[in-house]
Amino acid sequence: MSVTQADARGELVETLDATLRAAVRAEGVDPQREASVVRRLAGQVVAHHDQRSLTGAVLPVDDHDAMVEDLVARVSGFGAVQRYLDDPTVEEIWINDPSRVFVARAGRHELTSTILSAGQVQELVEKMLKSSGRRIDLSQPFVDAMLPGGHRLHVVLEGITRGFSAVNIRKFVVRAARLQDLVGLGSLTEKAASFLDASVRAGLNIVVAGGTQAGKTTMLNCLAASIPGRDRVVSVEEVFELRFTHPDWVAMQTRQRGLEGTGEIRLRDLVKESLRMRPSRVIVGEVRAEECLDLLLALNAGLPGMASLHANSAREALTKMCTLPLLAGENISARFVVPTVASSVDLVVHLGIGVDGVRRVEEIVGVPGRVENDVIETEPLFVRRGARLVRTQGMPPRAERYDRVGLDVRALLNGGT
């Protein structure tokens, strides 16, 4: 397509877009809630244009169906990035500036041919935030939000970033719903999956650690799917990301402060509130700050739970859990926190992503509860050696919890079921 033809098509799309928006306004349609109506109107607009093109008054539409889809994406969807949201192979989309739109597939990122204008990026952000009920402005230049399809949106406003607002969309791509699915994907072995399933059923406290995009939320979802149906689960997150099947589950997320500067609900508030809801299990989507203290107090009181956090190894995850509670106040000391972490966390599952883009369990470590010279002792249970996740000679803590639910963890780790 020549430059002249491309310009002509661009003008045609803009004209039809304006006509469709006028029709949507005339009918009083909510374009995001009533996409089927928008599609019908788009079909009528394109058909009417086709009729006029027979007279030579306007340019014809080359592909009727493609034009309708383009118009629906512009008006009801999220414009030029809608095709990436619809593409099941795309895991993440980010916009560094209007001319640099990236996507990630299979753990690897690539620069797309999509070029936007600054106005289109601004309109895109406004439309996405409208659907989420959250806001962004000079007083609140960052925002985390959830899109209708379950995708997570993060925006940093221009002024904090140089030149243009930075937009990141992490898609909710379901590739694994249970631990056995992760075995099929090559993330962990059959024996490790059986052990983790037994550990969840036994009520051990599990921390999932790893870097960005290592698969922490997916692992947390798969672990949560092993929670017995008789248990009551309460989960807390910054933005809803956990999705697992359970008959008795309450999910809560944080809330921004309002325009008056009030009404903020922090993750720490939700952890405290969850304990008043008679949970059998508590799950914290991601521990980032002082809410770690409240989680530790809950786990230390005998309430089974799970959480995820950013860390480069199982050892660093424990170190971080000893550091984050200190943010809660000067009266919190390491002398209290370190033994509390040692007695509260039972297992650490560390995840990594290889150069091939495959997410794998790198190690599963037990925490026996002992502290020596302010260092928490650990017991490696599974470690990755090359391409293989292999079983070590270590044994998990809390053997009595496995026995209580009729599980022989020793036999399981030695090759049984």
Digit-coded pLDDT (tens) for 342-386: 999 999 999 998 887 788 999 999 999 999 988 999 999 999 998
Whether 314 and 351 have beta carbons less than 8 Å apart is answered as no
- On whether both 340 and 200 belong to a single domain, the answer is yes
Here the CATH number for the domain that contains residue 153 is 3.30.450.370
- On whether both 147 and 294 belong to a single domain, the answer is no
Q: What 3-state DSSP class applies to 218?
A: helix
What residue type is 92 in one-letter code? E
The band of 7, judged by pLDDT with boundaries at 50, 70 and 90, is low
What's the pTM? 0.82
**Boundary of a domain, candidates 137, 170, 203:** 170
Give the contacts of 301 (CB within 8 A, at least 6 positions apart). Answer: none
- On whether both 219 and 306 belong to a single domain, the answer is yes
- On whether both 65 and 30 belong to a single domain, the answer is yes
- On whether both 140 and 184 belong to a single domain, the answer is no
- On whether both 109 and 151 belong to a single domain, the answer is yes
What pLDDT score does 416 carry?
A: 54
**Boundary of a domain, candidates 27, 47, 76:** 76
Helix residue spans in 231-368 (DSSP H):
267-274, 291-300, 314-323, 334-344
Residue 68's domain spans which residues? 3-76
Considering only CA atoms, which of 159, 12, 152 is closest in space to residue 71? Answer: 12
**Boundary of a domain, candidates 144, 170, 196:** 170
Q: What is the dihedral of CA 195, 196, 197, 200, to 10 degrees?
A: 120
Here the CATH number for the domain that contains residue 264 is 3.40.50.300
- On whether both 161 and 146 belong to a single domain, the answer is yes
What pLDDT score does 162 carry?
A: 87
Give me the numbers of helices (H) and strands (E) for the chain, helices first please: 14, 17
The band of 182, judged by pLDDT with boundaries at 50, 70 and 90, is very high
Helix residue spans in 35-152 (DSSP H):
35-53, 64-75, 82-86, 118-132
- On whether both 209 and 325 belong to a single domain, the answer is yes
Whether 159 and 138 have beta carbons less than 8 Å apart is answered as yes
- On whether both 310 and 265 belong to a single domain, the answer is yes
- pLDDT tens, residue by residue, 238-296: 989 899 999 999 999 998 887 777 788 999 999 999 999 999 999 999 999 999 999 99
Q: How many domains does the chain have?
A: 3
- On whether both 122 and 201 belong to a single domain, the answer is no
How confident is the model over 19-29, as a mean pLDDT?
86
- How many Å apart are CA 236 and CA 374, to the nearest integer? 30
